[in-house]
Amino acid sequence: MSVRIALAGNPNSGKTTLFNALTGSNQFVGNWPGVTVEKKEGRLKGHKEVTIVDLPGIYSLSPYTLEEVVARRFLLEEKPDVILNIVDGTNLERNLYLSTQLLELGIPVVLAVNMLDLLEKSGDQVHIGKLKEKLGCEAVEISALKGNGVMKAAEKALSLAREKKAAPKPCPFQSRVEESLLRVQEELKGMVPEEQKRYFAIKLLERDEQIQKLLPRAVDAGGEIARLEEDMDDDTESIITNERYQYISSIMQDCCRKAARKDTLTLSDKIDKIVTNRILALPIFAVIMFLVYYVSVTTVGDWLTGWTNDTLFGEWIVPGVSSGLAAIHCADWLTSLVADGIVAGVGAVLGFVPQMLVLFLFLAVLESCGYMARVAFIMDRIFRKFGLSGKSFIPMLIGSGCGVPGIMASRTIESDRDRKMTIMTTTFVPCGAKLPIIALIAGAFFGNAGWVAWSAYFVGIAAIVCSGIILKKTRMFAGDPAPFVMELPAYHLPTPGNVLRSMWERGWSFIKKAGTVILLSSIVLWFLQGFGWVDGRFGMLEAEQLENSILAYIGNGIAWMFAPLGWTQGGEGWKMAVAAVTGLIAKENVVTTFGILFGYAEVAEDGAEIWTRLSAVMTGAAAYGFLVFNLLCAPCFAAMGAIKREMNNAKWFWFAIGYQCGLAYLVSLCIYQLGTWVTTGAFGPGTVIAILVVLGFFYLLLRPAREGSRRPAGMKMAAGGR
List interacting residues with Mg ion (CB under 5 A): 16
Residue 436: name the closest of 297, 622, 589, 582 by CA.
Answer: 589
Cα separation of 601 and 225, whole Å?
74
The answer to whether residue 15 forms part of the interface with ligand GDP (CB under 6 A) is yes
CB of 217 to Mg ion, least distance (A): 38
Q: Which is nearer to ligand GDP, 210 or 268 (CB)?
A: 268
Binding letters toward ligand GDP, positions 99-138, x by CB under 6 A? ---------------xx-xx--------------------
Binding segment for ligand GDP (CB under 6 A), chosen from 5-13, 161-169, 235-243, 375-383, is 5-13
- Closest of 520, 425, 538 to residue 472, by C-alpha: 425
Closest CB 8 distance from ligand GDP, rounded Å? 10
By CB under 6 A, residue 660 contacts ligand GDP: no
Residue with Cβ nearer ligand GDP (364 or 429) = 364
Task: List binders of ligand GDP among 52-71 (CB under 6 A).
Answer: 57
The backbone torsions φ and ψ at residue 479, rounded to the nearest 5 degrees and listed phi first, read: 110, 155
Distance in angstroms (rounded) separating the CA atoms of residues 549 and 538? 9
Rg (CA), the chain: 29
List of residues 6+ apart from 300 with CB closer than 8 A: 358
The site string for ligand GDP over 352-391 (x = CB under 6 A, - otherwise) reads: ----------------x-----------------------
Q: Measured from the CB of residue 157, what is the shortest distance to ligand GDP in angstroms? A: 17
Whole-angstrom distance, CA of residue 415 vs CA of residue 37: 9
Considering the rule CB under 6 A, would residue 12 count as an interface residue with ligand GDP?
Answer: yes
- Pick between residue 144 and residue 525 the one whose CB is nearest to ligand GDP: 144
Residue 16 vs 143, nearer CB to Mg ion: 16
Contact 614, 594 (CB under 8 A): yes
Helix residue spans in 370-434 (DSSP H): 371-383, 393-399, 403-409, 416-426
E strands along 403-516, which residues?
Answer: none
In the complex, least distance from residue 29 CB atom to ligand GDP, rounded to whole angstroms? 13
SS3 368: helix
State which residue, 118 or 348, has the beta carbon closest to ligand GDP.
Answer: 118
The burial class, CB within 10 Å (0-12 / 13-18 / 19+), for 111 is: buried
In the set 51, 62, 99, 143, which binds ligand GDP (CB under 6 A)? 143
Is 38 a binding residue for ligand GDP by CB under 6 A? The answer is no
- By CB under 6 A, the residues from 476 to 505 that bind ligand GDP are 489, 492, 494-495
**581 touches which of Mg ion, ligand GDP, none (CB within 5 to 8 A by kind)?**
none
| Among the listed residues 391, 417, 368, the one whose alpha carbon sits nearest the alpha carbon of residue 484 | 391
Nearest-approach distance from CB 79 to ligand GDP, in angstroms: 23
Of 112, 145, 153, 421, the one binding ligand GDP by CB under 6 A: 145
β-partners of residue 533 are: 538
If binding means CB under 6 A, how many residues of this protein chain bind ligand GDP?
21
How near is the Cβ of 209 to ligand GDP at its closest, in Å?
Answer: 29
Question: Cα separation of 322 and 346, whole Å?
Answer: 15
Tell me the CB-side half-sphere exposure of residue 604, using CA atoms within 13 A. 16
Three-state secondary structure call for residue 190: coil
Is 16 a binding residue for ligand GDP by CB under 6 A? The answer is yes
* Contact by Cβ (8 Å): 576, 444: no
Smallest distance, Å, CB 26 to Mg ion?
Answer: 18
Any contact of residue 271 with ligand GDP (CB under 6 A)?
A: no
Q: Collect all residues with Cβ–Cβ distance below 8 Å to 184 and sequence separation of at least 6.
A: 201, 204, 205, 219, 221, 224
Binds 114, which of ligand GDP, Mg ion, none (CB < 5 to 8 A, cut-off by type)? ligand GDP
The span from the CA of 316 to the CA of 202, in Å, is 66
Instruction: Indicate whether 308 belongs to the interface with ligand GDP (CB under 6 A).
Output: no
**Residues found near ligand GDP in the complex (CB under 6 A):** 9, 11-17, 57, 114-115, 117-118, 143-145, 368, 489, 492, 494-495
